A and B are shown apart, each in its own frame.
Chain A
Amino acid sequence: MSLETTRQLKHDTPDHDRRLDGMAQGVLGTDMDRPEGPLKVSGRATYAAESRPEGMAHGYLVRAATIGRITGSNAEAIRAMPGVLHVLEDERMIRNAAQGMAGQSPVQKQGQSWYVGQPVACVVAETFEQARHAAQAMMVTIEPDGTHVFDAEAEGAEIDTPEKKQVSQGDLDSAMAQAAFSIDHDYHTPSMSSAAMEPHASIAQWDDEGRVTLRGSYQLLRFNKNELADVLGVAPDKVRILSPYVGGGFGSKLGLAPEAVAAALAAQALGRPVRVVLHRRQVFETVTRRSETKQRIRLACDADGKLTGIGHENLVSQLPGEVFSEPVAQGTHFQYAAPNRVVGHNIARIRRSAAGSVRAPGEAVGVTAFEIAVDELAKSAGIDPLEFRLRNVPDKHPENGKPFSSSTMEATLREGARRFGWQHSQPRQRREGEWWIGTGMAGAVRVNMMIEAHARVVLTGTGARVECDMTDIGTGSYAILTQVAAEMLGFAPAQVETVLGDTDLPPASGSGGSFGAASTSTAVYLACMELRERLAAKIGVKETELTLKDGVATHENRQTPLAEVLGDEEWRALGHLKPGRAGREVRQATWGAIFAEVAVSDVTGETRVRRMDGTFAAGRILNLKTARSQCHGGMIWGIGLALTEALEHDPRDGHMVNRDLAEYHLPVNLDVPQLGVHFIEERDDWANPLQAKGIGELSICGAGAAVVNAIENACGVRVRRLPATLDQVMEGLIAQG
Chain B
Amino acid sequence: MRAFDYIRAGDTAQAVREGAGQETRFIAGGTNLLDLMKLEVMAPERIVDITRLDLGGIEETQDGGLRIGALVTNSDLAADARVRRGWPVLSRALLAGASGQLRNKATTGGNLLQRTRCYYFYDRGEPCNKREPGSGCAAMGGTNRILAILGTSEHCIATHPSDMAVAMRALGARVEVEGQDGTREIALDAFYRLPADTPHIETVLAPGELITAVILPAPAGGRQIYRKVRDRSSYAFALVSVAAVVEVENGRIAKAQLAFGGLGPMPWRDAKVEKALVGEAPSPALFDRAADILLAEARGHGGNDFKIPLTRRTLAAVLSQATEAAA
Which A residues lie at the B interface, using CB under 8 A? 63, 65, 82, 116, 129, 132-133, 136, 281, 434, 603-604, 606, 608, 643-644, 648, 650-652, 655, 657-658, 660, 662-663, 665, 667-671, 725-727, 730-731, 734
Contact = CB atoms under 8 A, between A and B. Distances in A.
5 contacts: A603-B317, A604-B229, A608-B233, A665-B231, A726-B239
Contact of B117 (A603, A662, A725): A662
A665 B237 CA distance: 11
A703 B232 CA distance: 18
B101 to A, nearest CB: 13
A136 B39 CA distance: 8
A80 to B, nearest CB: 15
A731 B312 CA distance: 13
B310 A726 contact: yes
A730 B143 contact: no
Nearest to A639: B232
B1 A65 contact: no
Contacts of A63: 125
B234 A603 contact: no
A670 B234 contact: yes
A648 B145 contact: yes
A214 B138 CA distance: 39
Interface in B239-266: 239
A136 B124 contact: yes
B310 A651 contact: no
B3 A606 contact: no
Given A663-B117, A734-B309, A133 B232 contact: no
A132, A608, A727, A734, most chain B CB atoms within 10 A? A727
A670 B231 contact: no
B191 interface: no
| B interface secondary structure, majority | loop
A657 B119 CA distance: 6
Q: How large is the interface on B (under 10, 10 to 19, 20 to 34, 35 or more residues)?
A: 35 or more
Nearest to A728: B306
Nearest to A661: B235
Contacts of A651: 141-143
B163 to A, nearest CB: 14
B40 interface: yes
Interface in B219-241: 229, 231-237, 239
Interface in B285-312: 306, 309-310
A658 B141 contact: no
Contacts of A650: 138, 142-143
Contacts of A663: 117, 119, 146
A667 B40 contact: no
A668 B231 contact: no
B125 A65 contact: yes
Given A726-B310, A727-B306, 7 more contacts: A132-B38, A604-B317, A663-B117, A667-B232, A668-B232, A668-B233, A671-B232
A669 B310 CA distance: 25
Contacts of A65: 125
Given A133-B1, A663-B119, A730 B234 contact: no
Given A660-B122, A670-B234, A726-B231, A82 B3 contact: yes
B180 interface: no
Contacts of A671: 232-234
A730 B235 CA distance: 21
Contacts, number: 86
B275 interface: no
A648 B143 contact: yes
B198 interface: no
Contacts of B309: 730-731, 734
B2 interface: yes
Contact of B1 (A132, A604, A652, A655): A132
A658 B314 CA distance: 26
Contact of A133 (B40, B124, B229, B237): B40
A65 B231 CA distance: 29
A65 to B, nearest CB: 4
Interface in B1-41: 1-3, 38-40
B313 interface: yes
Contact of A669 (B3, B119, B234): B234
A132 B2 CA distance: 9
Indicate the member of B3, B124, B306, B317 with the most A CB atoms within 10 Å.
B306
A54 to B, nearest CB: 25
B64 to A, nearest CB: 35
Contact of A730 (B38, B138, B141, B313): B313
A514 B259 CA distance: 51
A82 B3 CA distance: 10
B235 to A, nearest CB: 5
A665 B236 contact: yes
Given A652-B142, A665-B236, A133 B314 contact: no
Contacts of A434: 317
Contacts of A660: 122
B313 A603 contact: yes
A644 B1 contact: no
B234 A658 contact: no
Q: Which of B39, B40, B125 has the most A CB atoms < 10 Å from its CB?
A: B125
Contacts of B236: 662, 665
Interface string B264-284: 000000000000000000000
Nearest to B98: A662
B235 A668 contact: yes
Nearest to A660: B122
A116 B124 CA distance: 13
A129 B233 contact: no
A567 to B, nearest CB: 56
Contacts of B125: 63, 65, 116, 655
Contacts of B231: 644, 665, 725-726
A665 B314 CA distance: 22
Contacts of B123: 657
Q: Which 6 A-B pairs have the closest CB atoms?
A: A727-B306, A670-B233, A65-B125, A670-B234, A603-B317, A657-B143
A689 B274 CA distance: 74
A451 B145 CA distance: 44
Given A63-B125, A650-B143, A726-B310, A606 B234 contact: no
A662 B40 CA distance: 18
